[in-house]
Structure 1
Amino acid sequence: MIFKRFLLLFLAFLTIPGIVLGKTIKLDLNAIYGPTSFHTQGAMEFAKLVEKYSNGTVKIVVHPGGSLGFKGPELLKAVKDAQVPMSDILMGVVAGSEHVFGISSLPRLVSNFEEARQLYEDCKPLYKRAALKWNQVFLYAAPWPPSGLVTKKPIRTVEDLKGLKTRTYDKNGAKFLRELGASPVSMPWGEVYSALRTGVIDSVLTSTESAKNGKFWEVLKYFTNIYYAFPLNMVTINLDYWKSLSKEQQQAMLKAAQEIENRQWQNSKKRYFEAAEILKQHGMIIEDATPELMKAMDKAALKIIKDFMKKCTPKEKEILEKYISK
């Protein structure tokens, strides 16, 4: 009887995700952007640090470009159900599943990296709680450089936005652009360049980094700094996989996460300026938004934020009120 019970426990132990006795634990990490992307490279560096700090007992294999088949709004559920053990997730894209993840992509809430980092630190406990609700552990998050408008023609007044077919990355961006008279379009990142080529869209709400990666100078001419948002990408791990790790392995992963988070925040700022220079070298014109345009955008942004707050918890409202009152 004792032997039988031991055998059952032993077999159950072997079925825990990620555990292979006597061998290195291997975890796949889904990355939604290509191998040259800032966030994918961050995930790869994270994987190296985890292997280093776990003394080689945890190996994370990063799969760029959504090659595992998961790319967008389904990512929270995919990690929750262990369809993929780990993933890089653009928070705003999954805000339809978990409201709090929409905060970092709210328009004009913060205007520089320092404010964006403070907003993140204020919200981090809420992000961690939301991840647990979805059966996963929140490891780290870092921002894209601030989003601007990449267009064929200069954008200097609200009238210049009227009817503009603009690809945006989440619902907040769509509402914001619609409020200003533009025509937001939702589509996977991989389709954006060809859509610009064929005229399906004529502009993109994105960062200098993404404009550089997309070689948008071949199809667009202007980048207007509107400091729309500093949207966050987070990396999470399925809770069952997390529990299958030893305490030492978990600590190694958390140590790597903290280190790569700090590094990625610094890199984001650096990438913003580097990418802007590359865009200029390829003939793109970078302009700051005019005071008239900024005033109209702030008015539209406040309306979007207040609408977002209707579904917020008291704690989320408290945080947002702190920033809109600045």
Structure 2
Amino acid sequence: MKRKLFLAMMAVGLLCWTASSVMAKTTWNANSVWPPNNHQTIGLEEFAAKVKQMTGGELEINVSSGGALGYKGPELLKVVRDGLVPISDMLISGVAGEDKVFQIVTLPFLAANLDEAKLLNTIARPYFDKAAERFKQKILYIAPWPGAGLWTQKKLTGIADMKGLKVRTYDKNGALVVEAAGGTPYALPFSEVYSSLASGLIDTVLTSTPTAVDAKFWEVLKFYQPLNVTIATDMVTVNLAAFNKLDKKTQQALIDAGKQQEEKMWKDVKALDKEKEGICNKNGIETVPVSDAFMQDLRKITENIRNDWLKDAPADAKAIYSEFMKQVKR
């Protein structure tokens, strides 16, 4: 009888221990507004897999892509701040309405290429960390997009060809460029871009090659002008309260996985750009070489955009700008 009682108590203890072990596991939802095959979503899934492996499964991150959780880009700083999701990917310049320091990433023609874009984001990172902390979150990694060009119905050979274009833009800086060239910017969610092209609401899109593939631009557009108007970046942030609930070992795993993912995505972006452009070309999009005169005209008409931003920029943003210009010797 005593043996049976002992075995029963052991079974109950084992059951309780097993239950507590299962309960110790933390599961988070992660938000991405980008489609499943977009490199930012893929990057977030790779990051989640790293975290699961590095924590021995104690922290599991489930990625919801394509805006499935119902949140849109400009609101994502607040969404993470308020704990509606513990972790989210977001376009940095897309949340610049919340803090102007984030707008520096896509100042038109500030970063001339991906190497300069990486330098700009490296210089900006401590200031971005401060801004994110004000919104009660922590940046885990920053990942690039290829440079944004114009995807059009008609071939553009000079700035005069931009007059009258109806252009979908993804942030304020892009909209200012379109206006300076005589076009009309449209701030549309990515999910509405294809239908807006098909209906004629817009005839042009300012974006990078991965988005062009995501939206199958070859079905509705004909030409691509690789202007590198802006070079955008995304950041993946975590709610600080959620982060602070984790033990130190798990916190460090999140940080380490973020560093690894950031390094990988910057390393891969040039090849990604060529790959996605090739897919578009294969499906009928013609890449139009951009003349030096076209680029010079664009830089000239957008000079006031950069100057006006700098006049009203917060001190942190001015510090980033100054250090960047010093390092690129401009």
Q: Distance in 1 between matches of 2:146 and 2:100?
A: 22
Q: TM-score, normalised by structure 2?
A: 0.90
**Alignment of 1:270 onto 2:262:** no
The percent of aligned pairs where both chains have the same amino acid is 38
Instruction: Tell me what 1:193 maps to.
Output: 194
Contact 2:28 2:61 in 1 (8 A): yes
Residues 182-219 of structure 1: CA deviation (Å, up to 9, x unaligned) = 11111100000010001000000001111111110111
Contact 1:149 1:226 in 2 (8 A): yes
Q: Distance in 2 between matches of 1:100 and 1:288?
A: 33
Residues 144-178 of structure 1: CA deviation (Å, up to 9, x unaligned) = 11100000111111110011000000011101110
Instruction: Tell me what 1:233 maps to.
Output: 234
Q: Distance in 2 between matches of 1:22 and 1:213?
A: 38
CA apart distance, 1:21: 7.6
Instruction: Tell me what 2:302 maps to.
Output: 301
Report the 3-state secondary structure (helix = DSSP H, G, I; strand = E; otherwise coil) of the residue aligned with 1:260. Answer: helix
Instruction: Tell me what 1:147 maps to.
Output: 148
Contact 2:94 2:171 in 1 (8 A): yes
Q: TM-score, normalised by structure 1?
A: 0.91
CA apart distance, 1:55: 1.4
Q: Distance in 2 between matches of 1:78 and 1:300?
A: 36
Residues 245-301 of structure 1: CA deviation (Å, up to 9, x unaligned) = 111000000010000001111222111000111111111111232222211211133
Instruction: Tell me what 2:10 maps to.
Output: none
Instruction: Tell me what 2:255 maps to.
Output: 254
Q: Distance in 2 between matches of 1:256 and 1:185?
A: 37
**Alignment of 1:89 onto 2:90:** yes
Amino acid at match of 1:197: A
**Alignment of 1:319 onto 2:320:** yes
Map of 1:276-287 to 2, 5 A cutoff?
Answer: 276-287=277-288
Contact 2:151 2:224 in 1 (8 A): yes
Report the 3-state secondary structure (helix = DSSP H, G, I; strand = E; otherwise coil) of the residue aligned with 1:137. Answer: strand
Contact 1:109 1:323 in 2 (8 A): no
Contact 2:142 2:235 in 1 (8 A): yes
**Alignment of 1:99 onto 2:104:** no
Which structure has the larger Rg?
A: 2
Instruction: Tell me what 2:176 maps to.
Output: 175
Q: Distance in 1 between matches of 2:36 and 2:316?
A: 37
Instruction: Tell me what 1:165 maps to.
Output: 166
Instruction: Tell me what 1:6 maps to.
Output: none
Q: Distance in 1 between matches of 2:98 and 2:312?
A: 13
Instruction: Tell me what 1:212 maps to.
Output: 213
Structure 2 segments unaligned to the other structure (5+ residues): 1-19
Structure 1 segments unaligned to the other structure (5+ residues): 1-18
Report the 3-state secondary structure (helix = DSSP H, G, I; strand = E; otherwise coil) of the residue aligned with 1:65. Answer: coil
Q: Distance in 2 between matches of 1:62 and 1:314?
A: 36
Q: Distance in 2 between matches of 1:238 and 1:146?
A: 29
Over the aligned positions, Cα root-mean-square deviation in angstroms equals 1.5
Residues 104-123 of structure 1: CA deviation (Å, up to 9, x unaligned) = 11110111111111111000
Instruction: Tell me what 1:26 maps to.
Output: 27
Contact 2:30 2:62 in 1 (8 A): yes
Contact 2:30 2:87 in 1 (8 A): yes
Q: Distance in 2 between matches of 1:256 and 1:301?
A: 38
Contact 1:141 1:232 in 2 (8 A): yes
Aligned residues: 308
Contact 1:163 1:183 in 2 (8 A): yes
Instruction: Tell me what 1:14 maps to.
Output: none
Would you identify which runs of 4 or more consecutive aligned residues in structure 1 move more than 3 Å?
19-22, 321-325
Q: Distance in 1 between matches of 2:237 and 2:288?
A: 36
Instruction: Tell me what 1:114 maps to.
Output: 115
Which stretch shifts more, 279-288 or 184-193? Answer: 279-288
Note closer, same or farther for the CA distance 1:20–1:150 as it changes in structure 2 (3 Å cut).
farther
Instruction: Tell me what 2:14 maps to.
Output: none
Instruction: Tell me what 2:47 maps to.
Output: 46
Q: Distance in 2 between matches of 1:300 and 1:38?
A: 32
